[in-house]
Chain A
Amino acid sequence: MKISVEDVRYIAKLSKLNITFEEAQKMVGEFEGILTYFESIDRLDLKDALPDPPDRNGGTVLRKDEISVFEDKEKLFLNAKSMRDSYISVPKIIE
């Protein structure tokens, strides 16, 4: 299927990725190839197929409503680059 550089740039924005115009152009070719390949599934008759996987377990696990505290908060936030008091701090977000 045909897609445009604009489509690719839109998708990049939606995915929060920066791509240059050249990268977008390159991707158009790659995506078109891949998406054309995907068209092989168009030929199939899938009318009656049930999309949801068969549930062998009687529904999703239901956890008892009980509290369990993760004690080591220092370890939990070890990877945060910037904190203030116990908040995570980030550059100001304009709303």
Chain B
Amino acid sequence: MSFETVIGLEIHAELNTKSKLFCSCPAEFGAKPNGNTCPVCLGLPGTLPVLNEGAVVLAVKAGLILNCEIMTRSRMDRKNYFYPDLPKAYQTTQYDIPICRNGYVDIGTEELPRRIRLTRIHLEEDAGKLIHLEESDVSLIDYNRAGIPLIEIVTEPDLRSAEEAVAFLKALRSMLEYGGISDCRMERGSLRCDANISLRRAGQNTLNTRVELKNMNSFKELQKALESEEERQRELYSLGEENRIVQETRRWDGAKVKTVPMRSKEDAHDYRYFPEPDLGPVIISDAMIREIRESLPEMPADRKKRFRDLYGLKDKEIDIIVGDKALSEYYEALTARGTDPRAGANWILGSMLKLLKEKGLEAGQIPVPPEELHKLIRIIKEGKISLTAGQEVFSQMFDTGRSAGDIIKEKGLSQISDRMELGRIITGVLDDNPQSLSDYAAGKTQAAVFLMGQIMKATKGRANPQLAREILEEKLKKGLP
């Protein structure tokens, strides 16, 4: 009996607006608790919401990027329930008529394309944050997050494995990041993902009871949670006990490495949705859609194609560079200045990524301006310093912010590439090592390697290796009786 896994995802992304959805409080992260609040987002009596235009634009943008139909007329609704992080005791969201419908994201490969359909995208406000203290009889509430604009993206149950779900989420994340919609950081909570998973017998085309999974805070946790739940359900099926799979919400427990049932907040989840009377309909004009469509930035898929065509890099390399928007932009800043695409890619994929990891920085925080790295690469190409020395210089540039030229001068790292000067030094080395000369003449080619070592020692590694070898060979040939 073979089974098929059916997964659908529900993703929430915090929009990159300056202010909150219904008031002008800053939508920034990391402020002092309750520092970004006002009477409106605190739900003080008498206050009223006013819709943030920027949020609407970003929602439409997301819809266009994700191939959705934009609803020119949609509506805000109230979802009523009690919870301490919900100041008005209702969330203003979109229930009946969301702002976008019917989109898709293509993942997979050219040979095996997979289209994952989206049911809808809608605008809603976030709730505050509850903090539970371990040894305490109180819980704390911070309303900074209350009122932050979110889009909720719901997929059709088109995903067929945990791996695919993660691949989809990564692709979606990248598109939202490239679109400037959200900074999409799962660890920070600006991208959240819940999943619905069920199993069915291969070939069956109806859906069985699904289980909702929550509390997955990284791609890894998403994968583990889905795999764990998939396993749990498969086992019940194999025991003939699939009727024990009930519609419930389970949370991923990282410590126990499995999904556990959640205590239900309320027996009755009757949200009593009704249209928000304090807001009019959300009208999107054709002109607005056109303007937004024309201003769409390059998407990851297009950028990858362009990189393939322009720079001739390998697919895996492109995936890494394009997978990080800021990194790909840095790379293009190099090539725009004339850096050889291959050399640039080597530097980015090699030294750059290594240093970023070491220092715990992100591509958006690279302390070396592209112009400076470009200069360094050129200096190395011109043979003024060796590649090894260059890597050391780059590390210094990273730490100190000084230019390549200054560091090279100070550390005296310039490569000796002058024929006459190098010739003199090599002659000196040969004079000091007559034994090696006779060894070489006797046919011991190993002596040449030894002599190169001595040349490097004498020049403190600054000898231009190719030139030194050339001159040495000349002299060795001449030196033969």
Chain A: residues with CB nearer than 8 A to chain B? 10, 13-14, 16, 52, 55, 57-70, 73, 76-77, 82, 84-95
Contact = CB atoms under 8 A, between A and B. Distances in A.
Counting from the closest, the 7 A-B pairs by CB-CB distance are A65-B54, A59-B283, A60-B280, A70-B38, A87-B140, A62-B53, A68-B24
Given A68-B24, A76-B37, A77-B34, A62 B140 contact: no
Interface string B2-34: 000000000000000111000011100000111
A66 B265 CA distance: 36
A95 B279 CA distance: 33
B84 A65 contact: no
B137 A85 contact: no
B139 interface: yes
Contacts of A16: 82
Contacts of B140: 84, 87-90
A73 B139 contact: no
Contact of A55 (B82, B132, B280): B280
A93 B139 CA distance: 6
Interface string B270-288: 1010010001111100000
A84 B137 CA distance: 13
B52 interface: yes
Interface in B30-80: 32-35, 37-39, 42, 50-56, 73, 75-76
Given A16-B82, A92-B132, A76 B138 contact: no
Contacts of A93: 84, 130, 132, 139
A90 B139 contact: yes
Given A16-B82, A88-B143, A90-B84, 14 more contacts: A65-B53, A65-B55, A66-B18, A66-B19, A67-B25, A69-B26, A76-B37, A76-B39, A84-B138, A86-B34, A87-B34, A92-B136, A92-B138, A93-B139
Contacts of B265: 95
Contacts of A61: 50-51, 280
Range of interface residues on B (Cβ < 8 Å) = 35 or more
7 contacts: A60-B51, A61-B50, A67-B19, A76-B39, A90-B141, A93-B130, A93-B132
Nearest to A75: B39
B280 A57 contact: yes
A49 B221 CA distance: 50
Contact of B34 (A64, A68, A73): A73
A10 B53 CA distance: 40
Contacts of A14: 268, 270, 272
Given A66-B18, A67-B18, A91 B139 contact: yes
B263 interface: yes
Nearest to B133: A92
Contact of A90 (B26, B54, B76, B138): B138
Contacts of A86: 32-35
Given A61-B51, A62-B53, A90-B84, A67 B138 contact: no
B59 to A, nearest CB: 12
A55 B280 CA distance: 7
B35 A92 contact: no
Contacts of A68: 19, 24-25
B34 A66 contact: no
Interface in B251-310: 262-263, 265, 268, 270, 272, 275, 279-283
Nearest to A71: B38
Contacts of B56: 62
Contacts of A94: 263
Contacts of A76: 37-39, 42
Contacts of B54: 64-65
A92 B32 CA distance: 22
Contact of A67 (B26, B75, B281): B26
Contacts of B42: 76
B202 interface: no
B86 to A, nearest CB: 12
A2 B37 CA distance: 46
Contacts of B139: 89-93
B275 A52 contact: yes
Contacts of B283: 55, 58-60
Contact of A88 (B24, B34, B133, B262): B34
B132 A95 contact: yes
Contacts of B138: 82, 84, 89-92
Contact of B52 (A65, A90, A95): A65
Nearest to B42: A76
A63 B53 contact: yes
Contacts of B480: none
Contacts of B270: 14
A86 B189 CA distance: 21
Contacts of A60: 51, 76, 279-283
A70 B25 contact: yes
Contacts of A58: 283
Contacts of A91: 137-139
Nearest to A85: B33
B33 A65 contact: no
Contacts of A64: 53-54
A87 B82 contact: no
A58 B72 CA distance: 12
